[in-house]
């Protein structure tokens, strides 16, 4: 029997319980929503088998005693069949999700989840995909900026690359998708549901949000390696931690991604203080 850690509504850990009891008794627990992207600026939506709609790359419960990032790696492996460097996944947000629905036997399925939404990059090696046949029909790759623009005004269609399996072979085909092809619950909009994920992916892939392991060049020529993006415990301000020639430095994220002060440095041609090296 699968066990889940359970929490109070304000997030305090109180123990663990069987999954069916968690949903019977409306107990708060953690889930993970796993979004994959590539550094060319694409996001990958899953084609769900149950509805045929497009949704998170992979998702599921966080098991008892499992970290959220460990659950990220496990769910991607189980549903998509690939290993990703989940420790470098970047948090987008944590959403409190509440839903009740009637089961076929008349009982009520009560969902009370802290949905942890993360994004993680991966190498575009489709040959390693092995979709869970019980849950997944495939993936669709979209340009993240195009998807964001479409979700702001979802009229007409958006073009994506459908990646599916045929026996042991992975195939792809360019297709057009409309608003109703994306999973969106009553009372939601596509932008509200997926906008923050796309914004984070766009920021990362355009060098406006550093990720562990990336290298950036300062406008004065120094090359730095990102070690972490941390938060100040008192102010919640995000701080970039980086290595330069063996020394560890920290700088506010807002300053790190800011533009060069050309009044102070009139001879500098670079636009940004730090530029992502690809």
Domain 215-276 = CATH 1.10.1740.10? no
Residues in the chain: 278
Please state which architecture CATH assigns to domain 3-205. Alpha-Beta Complex (3.90)
- Please state, in angstroms and rounded to a whole number, the distance separating the CA atoms of residues 55 and 44: 9
Q: Which of 166, 156, 150 is nearest to 45 (CA)?
A: 150
Residue 224: which pLDDT band, with cuts at 50, 70 and 90?
Answer: very high
Does pLDDT of 1 surpass 80? Answer: no
Residues of the chain with CATH 3.90.79.10: 3-205
- Please state, in angstroms and rounded to a whole number, the distance separating the CA atoms of residues 3 and 66: 10
Mean pLDDT value across residues 209-232: 95
Percentage of the residues of the chain whose pLDDT score is greater than 70:
100
- Radius of gyration (Cα) for the chain, nearest Å? 21
- As a whole number of angstroms, the longest Cα–Cα distance in the chain is 73
Q: Are strands 90-102 and 13-18 parallel, antiparallel or unpaired?
A: unpaired
- Please state, in angstroms and rounded to a whole number, the distance separating the CA atoms of residues 117 and 121: 14
Mean pLDDT value across residues 229-247: 95
* Per-residue pLDDT tens digits for 27-77: 999 999 999 999 999 999 999 998 899 999 999 999 999 999 999 999 999
CA dihedral 99, 104, 108, 114 (to 10 degrees): -30
Mean pLDDT value across residues 146-166: 95
CA dihedral 58, 63, 69, 73 (to 10 degrees): -50
Q: Are strands 108-121 and 28-38 parallel, antiparallel or unpaired?
A: parallel
Residues of the chain with CATH 2.30.30.320: 215-276
Does pLDDT of 168 surpass 80? Answer: no
Q: Is residue 206 helix, strand or coil?
A: coil
Q: What is the pTM of this model?
A: 0.91
Residue 93: which pLDDT band, with cuts at 50, 70 and 90?
Answer: very high
């Amino acid at each position: 029997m699968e066990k889940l850690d359970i929490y109070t509504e304000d997030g305090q850990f109180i123990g663990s319980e069987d999954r069916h009891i968690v949903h019977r008794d409306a107990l708060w627990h953690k889930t993970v929503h796993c979004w994959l992207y590539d550094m060319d600026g694409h996001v990958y939506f899953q084609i769900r088998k149950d509805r045929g709609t497009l949704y998170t790359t992979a998702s599921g419960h966080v098991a008892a005693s499992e970290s959220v990032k460990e659950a990220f790696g496990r769910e991607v492996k189980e549903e998509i069949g690939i290993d990703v460097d989940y420790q470098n996944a970047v948090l987008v947000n944590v959403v409190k999700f509440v839903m009740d629905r009637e089961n076929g036997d008349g009982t009520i399925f009560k969902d009370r989840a802290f949905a942890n939404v993360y994004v993680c990059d991966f190498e575009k090696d489709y040959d390693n995909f092995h979709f869970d046949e019980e849950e997944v029909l495939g993936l669709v790759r979209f340009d993240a900026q195009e998807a964001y623009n479409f979700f702001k005004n979802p009229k007409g269609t958006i073009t994506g690359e459908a990646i599916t399996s045929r026996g042991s072979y992975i195939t792809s085909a360019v297709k057009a998708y409309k608003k109703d092809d994306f999973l969106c619950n009553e009372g939601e909009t596509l932008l509200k549901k997926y906008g923050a994920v796309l914004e984070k992916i766009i920021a990362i892939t355009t060098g406006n949000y550093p990720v562990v392991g990336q290298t950036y060049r300062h406008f004065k020529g120094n090359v730095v390696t990102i070690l972490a993006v941390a938060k100040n415990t008192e102010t919640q301000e995000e701080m970039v931690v980086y290595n330069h020639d063996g020394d560890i430095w920290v700088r506010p994220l807002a300053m790190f991604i800011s533009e060069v002060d050309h009044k102070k440095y009139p001879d500098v041609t670079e636009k940004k203080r730090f530029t992502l090296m690809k």
